[in-house]
Amino acid sequence: MSQYRTFTAADAVDYARQFGGLDDPSSLVDAQEVGDGNLNLVFKIFDQTGQSRIIVKQALPYVRVVGESWPLTLDRARLEAETLLEHSKFCPQHTVKLLHYDTDLAVMVMEDLSDHAIWRGELVKGSYFPLAAAQLGEYLAQTLFHTSDFFQHPHAKKADVIRFTNPELCEMTEDLFFNDPYQLHERNAYPATLESFVAELRDDHQLRVAVAGLKHRFLSHAEALLHGDIHSGSIFVTATSLKAIDAEFGFYGPIGFDVGTAIGNLLINYCALPGLLAAREAADGREQRLADVREVWLGFAERFLALAAEKTRDRALAYPGYARAFLQQVLQDTIGFCGTELIRRTVGISQVADIKKIASEPMRDECLRHAISLGKTLIVAAPHVQDIDALIARIRQNG
Ligand code: ADP
Ligand code: MG
């Protein structure tokens, strides 16, 4: 039986030769650790021509950005691998292909997506991928519908809720999304110039009640197998293709959490663009982001409704009109969780390139204020927004 040890580059090459499924495994000669994420080791495995062919990802027994003082379960590699496999069953075209995984070594071997680019990096540069939003909507609908009670057998669903129980990673989300930004906490990472602005979050009763409600739903609503962290940095794109990676936060949670996280990251880019690009390009980029947000929601909702009409197995949930009524609740959750994503990415520890790449400090502060205020508005307004066009109108009103 394999036992956990942290891989060196040479270990990663050996492992990729064994489990990469290549016809010519001995062509793999070199590895480079490229993990720019916060948690894990990621090795690219190269052949003699210097081309990257396979990815080996290994979980460390702690949070990489913080160090050994923040231990974290190795079981996250199994959860990531099994979530990717489950999602691949229903949406292989938009899920990174897993080739092999080993629970004891906490390691995964994956297809190399080096011909794609991380969407966040492209959004920061102002590059537009007009197909990506519809593809993301399709990914969300396929993965979330097929793992929900509309489609899963109730026994299989309950077994999967157990299999995908992910207490440690969920606790990170519970703290980083719903606690830290609304209290004084050493993990928060906003500039001192924003102190009084951020203090208003702590003192806003209506906001705090709404955030408590969102956290409660995150804790208790096992609606579908979520990706759990589907932000623009977990999405690879080309002009024609979109692939989700990094599903270690996978668990059964509220559908609106995934949709809201995805939309929230598009809106962070919307808020950051005036600090990243010249005025004309920033204005165009913002319109593209709003179009993206609309397209993600409509792509998701329309496909979900079509799947529900065609494939719902539960007799009561199949009753005409129920799926549409359910999606209305998902829209409200989406808007609320989207607001919490905007706030945790600006006030909390998990800062993003969209904001960090803004060179001018006053401009960065202004974009941060915009994102925080939009987050607050959306969290409070969520129960009153009736459709996607009303959401877009609210976003425009907010500046
Ligand atoms: P973490 O879980 O530590 O956040 P990620 O899964 O986000 O790690 O991967 C970190 C980085 O490694 C990605 O941003 C990307 O640059 C690279 N990477 C991860 N998976 C792949 C892949 N399948 N193909 C190419 N690069 C990848
Ligand atoms: Mg990760």
Please identify every residue whose CB atom is under 5 Å from ligand 2, which is an ion: 37, 39, 246
> What global pTM score does this model have?
0.98
Q: Residue 141: CB within 6 Å of ligand 1?
A: no
Question: Which atom of ligand 1 approaches the CA of 245 most closely?
Answer: 6
Ligand nearest to the CA of 41: 1
pLDDT attached to residue 66: 84
Ligand nearest to the CA of 233: 1
- Our answer on whether the CB atom of 42 is closer than 6 Å to any ligand 1 atom is yes
| 35 Cβ inside 6 Å of ligand 1 | yes
User: Mean pLDDT for each consecutive 10-residue tract of the chain (399 residues)?
Assistant: 90 98 96 87 97 97 88 97 98 98 98 98 98 98 99 98 98 97 97 97 98 98 98 98 98 99 98 98 98 98 98 98 98 98 97 97 98 98 98 95
Outline which parts of the chain fall under CATH 3.30.200.20: 9-111
- Residue 297, pLDDT score: 98
Atom of ligand 1 nearest to the CA of 42: 12
Query: What phi and psi, each to the nearest 5 degrees, are found at residue 243?
Result: -135, 130
Of 6, 39, 42, best ligand 1 pocket probe by most atoms within 8 Å of the beta carbon: 42
Contact 250, 228 (CB under 8 A): yes
Q: Spelled out in words, what is the top-level CATH class assigned to the domain 117-398?
A: alpha beta
pLDDT value of residue 37:
67
CA of 37 to the centre of ligand 1 (A): 7
- Domain 9-111: top CATH class: alpha beta
Q: For 283-310, b where at least 16 C-beta lie within 10 A, e where not — what string?
A: eebbebbbebbbbbbbbbbebbbebbee
- To test ligand 1's pocket by mutation, which of 245, 249, 350 has the most ligand atoms within 8 angstroms of CB? 245
- Give me the pLDDT at residue 250, please: 98
* Measured distance CA(75)–CA(73) in Å, rounded: 5
Ligand 1 binding pocket includes 247 (Cβ within 6 Å): no
Query: Within the chain, which residue ranges are assigned CATH 3.90.1200.10?
Result: 117-398
pLDDT digits (tens, 9 = 90+) for 24-74: 999 999 999 998 767 899 999 999 999 999 999 999 999 888 888 989 999
Cβ neighbours for 296, distance < 8 A, ≥ 6 positions apart: 133, 134, 136, 137, 140, 259, 262, 263, 266
CB 40 near ligand 1, within 6 Å = yes
What ligand 1 atom has the least distance to the C-alpha of 111?
A: 23
Q: What angle do CA 308, 313, 318 make, to 5 degrees?
A: 55
Beta bridge partners of 116: none
Q: Which residue's C-alpha comes closest to atom 12 of ligand 1?
A: 35
